[in-house]
Amino acid sequence: MSTGTPPLPAGTRIGHVHLKVSDLERSIAFYSGVLGFDVTQRLGSSAAFLSAGGYHHHIGLNTWQSRGGPAPAPNMTGLYHTAILLPDRKSLAAVLHRVLDAGIVLEGAADHGVSEAIYLRDPDGNGVELYRDRPEPEWPRTADGSLDMGTEALDLQAILAEIE
């Protein structure tokens, strides 16, 4: 769909997400201790920056306006979820294993044809999607070549079998 505005270049990416959290240490324990991001910098007890692979940061966490605050109600506007793209199915399996070992309840798991995704919540109730993309030649397409994404059940045992 064209709006008359020139499209962004193909190499454009969303670089990081910055979340308001109520308890910085609890959030670091989740994003670093469970998911595996490295803490790259801290600003005292009010903010932290985390990354994968040495990048300056993929996730910013702060309590500047939210220390001790409640999670937003489900019917409020705001962030639906942060999607964390993993490089391959084995990496998705490894982080799924850590999430389950930590006793974190999954909200869902889906095969979208183009990707395999697992959904959960962080300690502040923010949605988190952990996913891996299939190679583009495997993406489902209609007869006219358009993407034909869907939502089918994801076999979590098959994902976990990647690390056995």
* Same domain (yes/no): 147, 90: yes
Residue span of the structural domain in which 50 resides = 15-67
Kindly report, residue by residue over 85-115, the tens digit of the pLDDT: 999 999 999 999 999 999 999 999 999 999 9
Residue 94 domain flag: yes
* Same domain (yes/no): 164, 91: yes
* Same domain (yes/no): 86, 149: yes
Kindly report, residue by residue over 3-15, the tens digit of the pLDDT: 789 988 888 888 8
* Same domain (yes/no): 60, 87: no
3-state secondary structure of 49: strand
Q: HSE of 109 in the Cβ direction (CA atoms, 13 Å)?
A: 14
Read off the pLDDT band of 2 (50, 70, 90). low
Query: Rounded mean pLDDT of 59-71?
Result: 95
* Same domain (yes/no): 50, 90: no
pLDDT surpasses 70 at 81: yes
Residue type, 135: P
Q: What is this structure's pTM?
A: 0.91
Q: What is the pLDDT of residue 11?
A: 87
Query: Rounded mean pLDDT of 138-161?
Result: 96
Buried b or exposed e, range 115-133, using 16+ CB within 10 angstroms: bbbbbbbbbbebebbbbbb
Residue 73 domain flag: no
pLDDT surpasses 70 at 1: no
- The domain total for the chain is 2
* Same domain (yes/no): 28, 50: yes
* Same domain (yes/no): 96, 155: yes
* Same domain (yes/no): 96, 53: no
Q: What is the pLDDT of residue 104?
A: 97
* Same domain (yes/no): 51, 95: no
